[in-house]
Amino acid sequence: MLFTPTLLETLRRNVQRDPWCARMATLAIADAQPWLARADEELWSLMYGPTLTRSWNVWTSGHCPACKGPVPLYNWIINGLTQPWKVLCPHCQETFPKNDFYAFYQSGLDAQGVFSPALAKRELLFNAEHPDPADPLHRFCVDDGEGYVESGKRWRFIGTYLIYGQWKHLVLGGIRCLANAYAISGEKAYAHKAAVLLDRVADLYPSFDHIRQAWVHEIYRTEGYVSTWHDACEETRQMALAYAVIRPALLHDQELADFLEGQRRAFSLARSKATPADICRNIEDGLLRDPLQNPRKIYSNYPRREIALAVLHAALDWPGNRATVLRMADEMVARGTAVDGLTGEKGLAGYSAYVIQSLAQFLALLEMIEPGSLADLLRRHPALRQTWRFHLDTWCMDRQFYPRVGDTGWFCGKVTNYAGVVFRRGPDESLPEGSATSVKSTQPVCDVLTPSMFSFLWRLSELTGDDYSHVLLQAGGGRTKDLPYDFFHPDPEAFRRAFAARLPRTPGEAGNVNKPIWNLAILRSGQGAREHAFWLHYGSGGTHGHTDPLNLGLFAKGLDLMPDLGYPPLQVADRERVHWYLQPAAHNTVVVDNAMRPGWGPRLQGACRLWADGHSVAAISAACPEALLDGWLHTPAKCRAPGYGAIGLYLHAPGRVRAVRVLVQHPEIPPPMWRLAFEDHFQREALGADWRVAEGQWRIEDGWLIGQGVLVLNRCFGGDVRLEFEGRAATAQPCDLSAFLLAQAPDWGDHDGDDKTDPNAFQRSAVWATGVFFGFGSDNNRGSKILVHGLKAGQTGDRIRPDAAHQIACECVGDTLRHEVDGQIIQSVDNTPDGVRALRALALAPARFERTVVRVDVSPEDSYALDVFRVQGGRDHVKFVHGACGTLVVSGLRLAPAPSYGQLSTMRNFQVDSAPAPGWSTDWAMEDIFRYLPPGADIHLRYTDFTTGAEVSTCEAWAIAGHYNATEERWFPRVLVHHRAEHEPLATTFVGVLEPYANQRVLAGIRRLALHAADGAALDDRHAAIEATLADGRRDLLLTLDTDAPTRDGFVAQREWEVETDAELAVLRRDERGRPQMVALARATRFKAEYLAIELAARIEFIELEIEGNALRVVTGDPAAIRSATLAGRPLRSA
């Protein structure tokens, strides 16, 4: 028994004694009344079968067919109780569909009570407001279950209502509300009604298979039951908990058995329901055992499916399945905390948090039924302590912003709730009673069976010593009187007393944070509203990740000043704009060779080279060289597949193809003897079922396949394979008459999103990652190449001849790849694991992709940062820098109109200065688009650049201002620093200074200074020295040395400041009179600056010193590391 009598007694005692529990119980009982009032027959008939096509959205990027107002994604209003079988436009309040669908549905019920389209009376399909067949609106917005079609667009009113109105609201909502009411009251009538719904769902649940019966965003087929995968997982778990709490009452309800047995006979159902035990068996088989046998249907982000499976086992037999459940808990904690306490999934305040939110609820439930389990797990898995600290450590600027890494948040938006758990205090009191709710608002007003996260974090605090008290206080609205918001707490009043006694006056200071496995560093300074933070994501891709290696962000002055774009705007019809959010060019990073990466790529693990956790100075140096590879690398062992599940064509520029043939190895004759397996001469008008357009536009004309983009052949082939075709480029600048072979069971990287199981969703990055790409005339027809798992395996100078027809063949024979053009083998590649490993080593040898960010404090509320980005590889490097929306003012540039960068429509209005002098600057005057600040706030971000040999462009880039329901487009200013060469590998050192400020600048001037070796030789610009003069007259010198280009003795000199050091990183501050005030050194043994000399006992990682008069104080680091420190020849005393 999962919910023991003791637990239910505690709940009901709290309802009598605790004010919050009493209020919530009243709401929960009221919440259940609409279902309690319905007859058993009506409740039983609420559940429908799988014969109607379901849809996750009416139309993802659509509008109202009546008023034409935009209604994307989840903006339709659906309420199964008040407006059954209708969806409501939020603008004009019109309801759809216009026909009486329920009458049509009733007319089509078969002998088992399931809708059959063949039985339904189609004469009922007319607009009830315009019944006259002669009326031009007679068929307007009529939906037969497959949607209403107008001008080629389809509105799936009923398909969407089925999920949100009938299933989530009426059926699942009814089950949960009735189970809550029973748990609170113990009244068997609520359990009886819940069991009627559960039993009918159990009859039909195994027949639901979302991947074959439903749509997501019009194009995706995904796993699931009634709902898509992620919701199906949670819904199954919720029904298991509901069943577990009502089961004791169900076992004694013979009246229930009599009713359901009558229904069985009336509707010719197979399973006996004559006894309560029969009912339990039916529910357990249909709702608990079926998901255990078909876990693909509740596939979800790890470990959500595993949690659901553990709950199913517990609901079936607790404590009989205790060992199984505890083993599963151990396994999911071990794997789920492997990446700095998390799974490694990206989407920091979104998907990364969703995982641990569900884990917290499961562990809290486990602690309820198995006291002491949380302490045991913490002892066995120390990384679990980091799990809920992660979102506390990374919550920035007075707990208002999380770094937007991956699919999370929206452009410039705040996240003011702690993301590590979901706190529930009760209903949203701002929502008037009975008001309409969106399709997403179908939860019970009070979720009794979900454990309190207030109690969970408090228990975690007791076990670990980590302080979550201010998180709890904020989540409680600043009040303690209703803590811990927990029906099952043994003594809520005692909790409140203990909380008040331990609550510190102010939250603890988070300081600088580095999550080295998750690849996120935050250089934070200031406290409360004055906090500011530079952050760097130094990995890339992965589950729900974007292609954002070494992406830099900044929170300061109450705003996100260097915003990541956030979650891709799926509500936008233009797929290019959706994928724009994932592109490297959409981020504050460097793009090499105009690399565009459609879709989510596999995870690239960056590495922290240097971490300086100082007070006035903090720094991160990180590298991600794999970002320069021509594509994405997967495990070399995967390079040889038993066959190919995708064969396709890729034309980067317009072109034409004909006579496509696929040959496979003859099974009885030694290689290379080929047998024809497929051919197409395109002697028709339509593409047909054999081909799928994955990207671009394609058509057939006079036996030619004409198009641009990606076309995939819907056939699978085993063993060795050879693809042949004739291709002709149709442009003056031809590019890519190319093809690919994709592994039969492709690994879609770490992406666990909607399109993992989608047969229609093709991502070009999957070609780079899991297969072989044969590029003929690639890179704007500079030559040809073969990519094996994203690695450049072969390269030739062979080019496309404009307007000439070429005979092209691509084959895999054994472990050899061959590329033929016009009968000549132009490339041959070893495709063994050892061969791919060798390619990887060769590709990475010259590659460099490394960023160093140094934060320097000016005051408790102001700082600036030196940003040095070193890149080597390719021949075209572009550094993108953007602020938020606002006005951009340039200084030191002479701009003229210029062509666009690449082919993206998401950037516009380009202007360029082809030969700027280093030291130019741009200043963003920020627009507070969400009005977070008081009126009149004057917030700026200034960027000053000292890169040599580069041209500079400005432009505007596109974003949606708001979350997934928003449609407002915004264009924000950007800067591009562009360095290129004719030959590779190009090496570039981008050097810039970022300066956030309010009203007045904090820096009066910035200069780049020359550096020399100890022997006097001038150093090149791979090393950087910056002088920053503060507004109050103080001056800073910042040195960052390139360790890949060391001087002969390791020492460098800056003559103007009379500095000599072997530090990899050094910062010296002088006061307004020129006296040394602060020194910060990383990886140094010696530092001299005019009259100041510091000798260290050994090469230290980092030390920060403050100097006042003749006193020296170690702010950060080990005082014992100082061998000697003198000023003007006199020893400095320790302060």
Q: Identify the burial level of 845 via C-beta atoms within 10 angstroms of its C-beta, where 0-12 means exposed, 13-18 middle and 19 or more buried.
A: exposed
How many CB atoms within 10 Å of residue 223? 22
- On the CB side of 390, CA atoms within 13 Å amount to 35
What is the biggest distance separating any 2 CA atoms in the chain, rounded to whole angstroms? 104
Residues in Cβ contact with 878 at an 8 Å cutoff, skipping those fewer than 6 apart: 585, 590, 591, 594, 901, 976, 977, 978, 979
The bridge status of strand 1133-1134 relative to strand 1111-1116 is parallel
The pLDDT of residue 957: 96
The bridge status of strand 876-882 relative to strand 907-913 is unpaired
Torsion of CA 218, 224, 226, 232, to 10 degrees: -120
The pLDDT of residue 736: 86
The pLDDT of residue 646: 64
Question: In terms of Cα–Cα distance, which of 595, 623, 598 is closest to 546?
Answer: 598
- Alpha helices in 253-303, H assignment, sequence order: 254-266, 276-283, 290-293
Q: Identify the burial level of 1056 via C-beta atoms within 10 angstroms of its C-beta, where 0-12 means exposed, 13-18 middle and 19 or more buried.
A: exposed
Q: Which structure tokens are listed for 71?
A: 């209604």
Q: Which structure tokens are listed for 940?
A: 């700026």
pTM summary value: 0.85
Q: Which structure tokens are listed for 462?
A: 């007791």
Distance CA 729, CA 304 (A): 49
- Alpha helices in 394-510, H assignment, sequence order: 453-464, 469-475, 492-502
3-state helix, strand, coil in the chain (%, to 5): 25, 30, 40
**Residue given tokens 């004909």 in the structure block:** 658
Q: For residue 312, what is the DSSP state?
A: H
Distance CA 749, CA 220 (A): 18
Q: For residue 1075, what is the DSSP state?
A: -
Separation in Å, CA 96 to CA 127, 511, 571, 692, 1113 = 10, 53, 20, 33, 73
The pLDDT of residue 836: 67
Separation in Å, CA 736 to CA 176, 565, 757, 797 = 56, 31, 28, 13
Distance CA 996, CA 886 (A): 14
**Residue given tokens 């061969």 in the structure block:** 835
Q: Let me know: does 789 contact 768? Beta carbons within 8 Å.
A: yes
Distance CA 810, CA 774 (A): 7
Distance CA 767, CA 712 (A): 11
Q: Which structure tokens are listed for 801?
A: 């001849």
Distance CA 177, CA 27 (A): 10
Q: What angle do CA 457, 322, 227 make, to 5 degrees?
A: 70
Residues in Cβ contact with 327 at an 8 Å cutoff, skipping those fewer than 6 apart: none
Task: State the 10-residue block means of pLDDT for the chain, 1135 residues long.
Answer: 95 97 96 97 98 95 94 92 96 98 98 97 98 97 97 96 97 97 98 99 98 87 93 97 98 98 97 97 98 96 95 97 97 95 94 94 97 97 97 95 95 95 74 37 79 97 94 93 96 95 78 97 92 96 90 97 93 83 94 72 87 97 84 35 61 88 74 81 91 86 90 80 90 82 44 34 44 85 81 82 90 86 90 71 79 97 97 93 97 95 87 97 97 96 98 96 85 97 92 98 97 92 97 98 87 96 97 96 96 95 96 96 94 89
Q: Let me know: does 1057 contact 1080? Beta carbons within 8 Å.
A: no
In words, the CATH class of domain 642-672+688-751+762-844 is mainly beta
Q: Let me know: does 403 contact 564? Beta carbons within 8 Å.
A: yes
How many CB atoms within 10 Å of residue 592? 24
Separation in Å, CA 245 to CA 83, 315, 329, 653, 896 = 30, 9, 21, 62, 71
Question: In terms of Cα–Cα distance, which of 1035, 977, 1032 is closest to 1006?
Answer: 1035
Torsion of CA 292, 298, 304, 310, to 10 degrees: -10
The pLDDT of residue 572: 83
DSSP per-residue string spanning 903-944: T-TTEEEEEEESSPPTT-EEEEEE--TT--S-TT--EEEEEE
Strand partners, 797: none
Q: For residue 1108, what is the DSSP state?
A: E
653: phi then psi, degrees, rounded to nearest 5:
-115, 160
Distance CA 553, CA 412 (A): 11
The pLDDT of residue 672: 57
Q: Let me know: does 598 contact 764? Beta carbons within 8 Å.
A: yes
Q: For residue 900, what is the DSSP state?
A: P
Sorted by where each begins, the domain ranges of the chain are: 26-300, 642-672+688-751+762-844, 1008-1135
